[in-house]
Amino acid sequence: MKQSRARTLRLEADLDDAVAKLARDDRVSISQIANRALRRYVEWDRAPTNRGMVSVPSMLMVKLMAELSGEKAIELGRWAGKELFLPNLKAGYPTLSIQKAEQMMRMLGDYGGRFTFDHGVEDGKHIFTIGQKMGRNWSAYYAGAVEQIFEGFLGKAARVTLSDNMCVVEFKGSLPH
């Protein structure tokens, strides 16, 4: 269990009421609500890797991507991997590594709401899985992005398999540091 410290806060009355209601609705303590809000705030809202991110309806993302060909979606993903993901990763972590990239992917998955991210090892093979619900072109987009990211770190292409709601990246060998 993580170590905890006690803090005293003074909240505006309307906020205190809203937090108490949320705690009642979720059947958790006010401390748990405060921990959740603060963790999200420091790990996501204020993280240098996520500055400038915007919230958009997933339905709009589906519609915007639907018009593209699969190849165009992969191309857009490659561009995003090279021009957005890697420079933003460097903004948060001056020394790049595949472990840091994995940490950022996990954070994007946990807080960004666009996908789930998982990393497992089977028979000496690393398997990274991105699960999402916005259609095949978004799988193609992530395939393009991870292709760029992994090539940047491994110096060779990883094997990418995609479906309507998954993008799976696999390679044999140990992860470089």
Partner 1 sequence: MNVVAERALRKLVEWDRLAEKAGLVSISPVTMGRLMELQTPEQARELGEFVGNEVLKPIIISRFGSVTLDSVLKTIELISRYMGRFDFIYSTEGTKRVVTVRHSGGIKWSEFYAGASVHLFSQTLGLATNPMITEELASIEFEMPEGSKRDT
Question: Quick one: which of 50, 148, 160, 169 contacts partner 1 (CB under 8 A)?
Answer: 50
Give CA 160 to chain center in angstroms. Answer: 18
The amino acid at residue 120 is G
- For partner 1, the closer CB: 111 or 171: 111
- Single out the segment in contact with partner 1 by CB under 8 A; choices: 6-14, 122-130, 151-159, 169-177: 6-14
Using DSSP's 3-state secondary structure scheme, residue 79 falls into helix
Tell me if 7 contacts partner 1 by CB under 8 A: yes
Q: Taking phi first (over 0 means left), then psi (-120 to 50 degrees means alpha), and beta for anything else, what does residue 161 get?
A: beta
Using DSSP's 3-state secondary structure scheme, residue 134 falls into coil
Using DSSP's 3-state secondary structure scheme, residue 81 falls into helix
Tell me if 27 contacts partner 1 by CB under 8 A: no
Structure tokens at 123: 């028979």
Tell me if 24 contacts partner 1 by CB under 8 A: no
Size of the site for partner 1 (CB under 8 A): 43
Question: Quick one: which of 64, 91, 121, 157 contacts partner 1 (CB under 8 A)?
Answer: 64
Tell me if 121 contacts partner 1 by CB under 8 A: no
Least separation in angstroms between residue 119's CB and partner 1 is: 21
Distance CA 43, CA 92 (A): 11
Least separation in angstroms between residue 33's CB and partner 1 is: 7
Question: Quick one: which of 47, 70, 80, 127 contacts partner 1 (CB under 8 A)?
Answer: 80
* Contact by Cβ (8 Å): 145, 80: yes
Closest CA to 165 of 57, 62, 80: 62
Structure tokens at 176: 């470089």
Interface residues with partner 1 (CB under 8 A) are 7, 9-12, 15, 18-19, 22, 33-34, 36-38, 40-41, 45, 50, 52-61, 63-65, 67-68, 76, 79-80, 83-84, 108, 111-114
